[in-house]
Structure 1
Amino acid sequence: MTSTVNPYEARAQILKALAHPTRLWLLEQLEQQERCVCELVEGVDADISTVSKHLSVLKQAGIVSRRRQGKQIYYQLQTPCLLKMLSCVESVLIQNAKASQAVVEQGQE
């Protein structure tokens, strides 16, 4: 028996994996280069187990991959195209801020 994956559900799962400020920050860090978990912990106000859990969520979604070198685990971004989507999100934020500012300015007239 073949199970059909709902494409909207599949997309929602990817978006859920991104839906945390720390995971978004991790993506930006991995855009630059492959990083060791220990390097990533230094930039986040969280312990290594919390950062590892966030990275695991991203890995399960297929967004990052990892490799082990000795005792260290290194992560790299598998889908840099997601950063373009985040750039689009920034455009929406700017548009919303401008709209809010316009409302404030109208109220002051």
Structure 2
Amino acid sequence: MPVPLYQAKADFFRTLGHPVRIRVLELLQGGPLPVRDLLGEIDVEASSLSQQLAVLRRAGIVSATREGGTVVYALATPDVAELLFAARRILTEMLAGQGELLAELRAEARR
């Protein structure tokens, strides 16, 4: 029996639901990067980064190619970058709304 679309979407978002994975995807928006460059930008152990990259690779979100002794990662599709941009826009709007609410609460407290 095929997986319902809503379940596939939930699984996809669960795959994205880790700070290291999000950071990797953010970094890869600028283009393919070797693992050593990712390690230089993300404060985690090499084994942890490797584990998170494997999750992203298995899900088909990133691709990996070997260039000599180096593994280079890239976004599997530019749509991932668009999704991250949409998430930033949504968060910006949400946080702006919270800022407005906080300002109202502070103003009310001064009355």
Give the TM-score, by structure 2 length: 0.85
Equivalenced residue count is: 107
Separation of aligned partners in 2, 1:97 and 1:30: 25
SS of residue in 1 equivalent to 2:2: coil
2:92 aligns with: 94
Separation of aligned partners in 2, 1:18 and 1:79: 15
Separation of aligned partners in 2, 1:88 and 1:18: 14
Relative to structure 2, which stretch is displaced further, 69-78 or 47-56? 69-78
Match of 2:17 among 16, 19, 27: 19
2:65 aligns with: 67
SS of residue in 2 equivalent to 1:32: coil
Separation of aligned partners in 2, 1:101 and 1:33: 34
2:6 aligns with: 8
> Which 4+ residue blocks in structure 1 deviate beyond 4 angstroms?
none
Following superposition, the deviation at residue 70 of structure 1 comes to 2.9
Identity of aligned residues (%): 31
Q: CA RMSD in A?
A: 1.5
Q: Does the 8 Å contact 1:68/1:74 carry over to 2?
A: yes
Q: Could you tell me which amino acid in structure 2 is paired with residue 53 of structure 1?
A: Q
Structure 1, gaps ≥5 residues long = none
Cα displacement string for residues 40-87 of structure 1 (whole angstroms, at most 9, x for unaligned residues):
101111121111111111111101111123322111111221221222
Following superposition, the deviation at residue 106 of structure 1 comes to 2.2
Separation of aligned partners in 2, 1:89 and 1:25: 13
Structure 2, gaps ≥5 residues long = none
Separation of aligned partners in 1, 2:67 and 2:104: 59
Relative to structure 2, which stretch is displaced further, 24-33 or 52-61? 24-33
1:37 aligns with: 35
Separation of aligned partners in 1, 2:69 and 2:18: 27
Give the TM-score, by structure 1 length: 0.86
1:82 aligns with: 80
